[in-house]
Amino acid sequence: MNLDKPDTQLKVFLWLIALHSFSVGIGLILFPPNYLEYFGFPNYTYSFFQAQGGVFHIVMSVAYIMAIKYMYKSSGLIVFSISAKAMATIFLVAYYIFVESSWMIIMSAFGDAVMASILFLLYRRFKSN
């Protein structure tokens, strides 16, 4: 594997994003709600939306893997992946400002912004090559 090639860099980064999303999904599904106070969510006792968020992250990890599989045929899933990370950033920042100022929310927003930015740059390099 040649990490100097733009397509390899894009693939590796998409795999890392997919692994991150899958891990977050499993964590959300399996993590006991009463421990969420350590992440800035006091008095959280319901697990439905936590599990729903977990399933959503797992579904997104499949989309990232599909972007890798079809990256030479169509770049639509890569553009979708960039858009998803950018929208997640906007949503999380807005949620942090207007609803709940949890440190985990703003850190997640920062992480999604970084992933969107790197993915965008790698995609541009891939397309120009």
Question: What does the pLDDT look like over 84-122, one tens digit per residue?
Answer: 999 999 999 999 999 999 999 999 999 999 999 999 999
Please answer whether residues 67 and 77 qualify as being in contact, where contact means their C-beta atoms are separated by less than 8 angstroms.
yes
Please answer whether residues 29 and 54 qualify as being in contact, where contact means their C-beta atoms are separated by less than 8 angstroms.
yes
Q: Which has more pLDDT, 45 or 15?
A: 15
Q: What is the value of pTM for the model shown?
A: 0.91
pLDDT of the residue at 64: 98
8-state DSSP, 31? S
pLDDT of the residue at 38: 81
C-alpha 36: how far from its chain's center?
19
Total of domains in the chain: 1
pLDDT digits (tens, 9 = 90+) for 25-83: 999 899 888 787 887 777 777 778 888 999 999 999 999 999 999 999 999 999 999 99
List the domain range (segments joined by +) for residue 32.
Answer: 6-128
Ramachandran angles phi, psi of 68, nearest 5°? -65, -45
Split at pLDDT 50, 70, 90, the class of 19 is very high
pLDDT of the residue at 124: 97
pLDDT of the residue at 92: 97
Ramachandran angles phi, psi of 92, nearest 5°? -65, -40
Residue 16 within any structural domain of the chain: yes
CA dist list (Å): 22 to 16, 112, 117: 10, 14, 20
Residue 1 within any structural domain of the chain: no
Residue 67 within any structural domain of the chain: yes
